[in-house]
């Protein structure tokens, strides 16, 4: 099982793939790297969708000629791989929708595969014919989506080794629910063929919050990656009732593909913790646990809305006299926010403060593509000696109000 998770880890679902993520074994370089170093592309820090960890400066739109804008991976030894997973920093702007994959033949760069029209979502998986090389890059960036069409930003890019196991199935994605309100929702997962044999049937097992559910027989055929038919199938596990402000850990795993032992169990299991989107009135109170309608910290509140979104107006009342809150807070592009579904934080005279130590953490409060947020009666302070910003609004953060 490769998918790690945290309490509200929205980005986790696509961290399962063909074999092994070999990107961390490479040295990454680029035409330029901003906000973070180029090593942020492969440091296995997946961050939070809505918050950039690294970006590449381009024109608008980027130059189509190869070699103008690029991200490159160089391995110490030859590797074989056939899949790349891009963890985008934003799903609404500055979004890489396509590029050309090239490899170095010892003399010049050769085209291998071009992908385009990626869906504007937090994570995309790109499969391509097996490539064997020690040096690869993506170039000729395409940015044909909405919002800003320059300076694509990222959280991580994974590259997965090509499959070698004969009968190798796994769960690669939680398809649904996503950005949902409390109530009954179907749980849908994606079963993928990671092996070299077509899978005619496989058993799918699952549990919610540790409680085992009836297994599901999944008929095929599920083709191989690069085959003529789909290499995955979406399976509806059935309805589930999701309560408000409650985490649900969903685990799903495959067994016995083609009635054979799966020789690669590393990619069998997906673990994902999700929660219904917020709506209503909540408190932030450092002297009370995070339970029910209370959050102990601004960080926990921000993580929840960043990862689960909102499905109605949200009001967070900071309980008077519970500060100061010594935290660095980043709100991202929150799903469901609108002129109707707003987020209001009533500070009630409390203080939010942070002592930044470098230019990568110098803002106490960052609104990274955040829209329709109002903050009232909250003192925001930057207490770092050499580095400090009280607030930073970036990536098209609009319709936000600050009052006192």
- Got the DSSP string for 8-67? T-GGGGG---SS-B-GGGSEEEES--BSS-GGGGSSS----TTS-SEE----SSPP-STT
Q: So where are the chain's domains?
A: 23-161, 169-276, 278-402
pLDDT tens across 71-89, in order? 999 999 888 898 999 999 9
* Beta bridge pairs of residue 402: 375
Q: How many CB atoms lie within 10 A of CB 89?
A: 29
Q: What is the DSSP string of 188-237?
A: EEEEEE-SSSPEEEEEEEEEETTEEEEEEEEEEEEPPTTSSS-SEEEEEE
Note the CATH architecture for domain 169-276: Sandwich (2.60)
Instruction: Please tell me the distance from the alpha carbon of residue 292 to that of residue 282, in angstroms, as a whole number.
Output: 9
**Tens of pLDDT, residues 179-223:** 788 899 999 999 999 888 999 999 999 999 999 999 999 999 999
* Dist. CA 361–CA 341, nearest whole Å: 29
Distance, first Cα to last Cα, the chain: 49
Is it true that 23-161 and 169-276 share their CATH fold?
no
Q: What is the pLDDT along the chain (404 residues), one digit of tens a residue?
A: 233 322 222 233 333 334 688 999 999 999 999 988 999 999 999 888 888 899 999 999 999 999 999 999 999 988 889 899 999 999 889 999 999 999 998 899 999 999 999 999 999 999 998 888 999 999 999 999 888 999 999 999 999 987 778 899 999 889 998 778 889 999 999 999 988 899 999 999 999 999 999 999 999 999 987 788 998 999 999 999 998 878 899 999 999 999 999 887 878 999 998 888 899 999 999 999 998 899 999 999 999 898 888 989 999 999 999 989 999 999 988 988 999 999 999 999 999 999 887 766 788 999 988 999 999 999 999 988 777 789 999 878 999 999 98
CA max distance for the chain: 67
| pLDDT value for 259 | 96
pLDDT, residue 256, reads: 95
Q: Rounded to whole angstroms, how far apart are CA atoms 272 and 203?
A: 19
**Cβ-based neighbour number of residue 336 at 10 Å:** 21
CATH (residue range 23-161):
2.60.120.260
């Amino acid at each position: 099982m490769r998918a790690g998770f945290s309490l509200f880890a929205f980005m986790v679902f696509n961290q399962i793939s063909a074999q092994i993520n070999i990107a961390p074994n490479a040295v990454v370089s680029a035409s330029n790297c901003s906000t973070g170093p180029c090593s942020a592309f492969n440091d296995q820090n997946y961050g939070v969708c809505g918050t950039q960890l690294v970006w590449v400066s381009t024109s608008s739109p980027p130059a189509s000629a190869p070699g103008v804008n690029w991200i490159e991976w160089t391995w110490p030894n030859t590797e074989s791989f056939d899949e790349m997973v891009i963890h985008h920093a934003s799903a609404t702007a500055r979004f890489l929708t396509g590029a050309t994959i090239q490899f170095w033949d010892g003399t010049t760069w050769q085209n291998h595969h071009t992908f385009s029209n990626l869906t504007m979502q937090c994570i995309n998986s790109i499969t391509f014919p097996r490539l064997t090389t020690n040096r690869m890059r993506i170039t000729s960036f395409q940015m044909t989506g909405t919002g800003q069409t320059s300076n694509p930003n990222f959280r991580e890019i994974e590259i997965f080794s090509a499959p070698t196991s004969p009968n190798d199935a796994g769960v690669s994605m939680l398809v649904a629910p996503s950005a949902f309100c409390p109530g009954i929702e179907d749980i849908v997962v994606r079963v993928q063929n990671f092996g070299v044999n077509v899978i005619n049937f496989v058993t799918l097992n699952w549990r919610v919050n540790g409680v085992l559910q009836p297994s599901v027989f999944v008929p095929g055929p599920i083709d191989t990656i690069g085959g003529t038919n789909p290499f995955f199938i979406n399976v509806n596990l059935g309805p589930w009732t999701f309560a408000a402000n409650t985490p649900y850990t969903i685990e799903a795993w495959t067994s016995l593909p083609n009635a054979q032992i799966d020789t690669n169990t590393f990619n069998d299991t997906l673990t994902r913790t999700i929660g219904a989107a917020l709506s209503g009135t909540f408190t932030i109170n450092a002297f009370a646990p995070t339970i029910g309608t209370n959050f102990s910290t601004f960080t926990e509140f921000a993580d929840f809305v960043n990862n689960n979104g909102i499905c109605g107006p949200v009001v967070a009342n900071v309980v008077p006299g519970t500060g100061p809150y010594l935290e660095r807070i980043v709100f991202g592009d929150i799903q469901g926010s609108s002129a109707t579904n707003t987020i209001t934080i009533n500070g009630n005279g409390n203080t939010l403060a942070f002592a930044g130590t470098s230019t990568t953490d110098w803002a106490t409060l960052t609104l990274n593509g955040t829209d329709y947020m109002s903050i009232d009666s909250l003192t925001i302070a930057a207490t770092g000696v050499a580095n400090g910003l009280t607030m930073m609004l970036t990536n098209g953060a609009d319709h936000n109000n600050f009052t006192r």
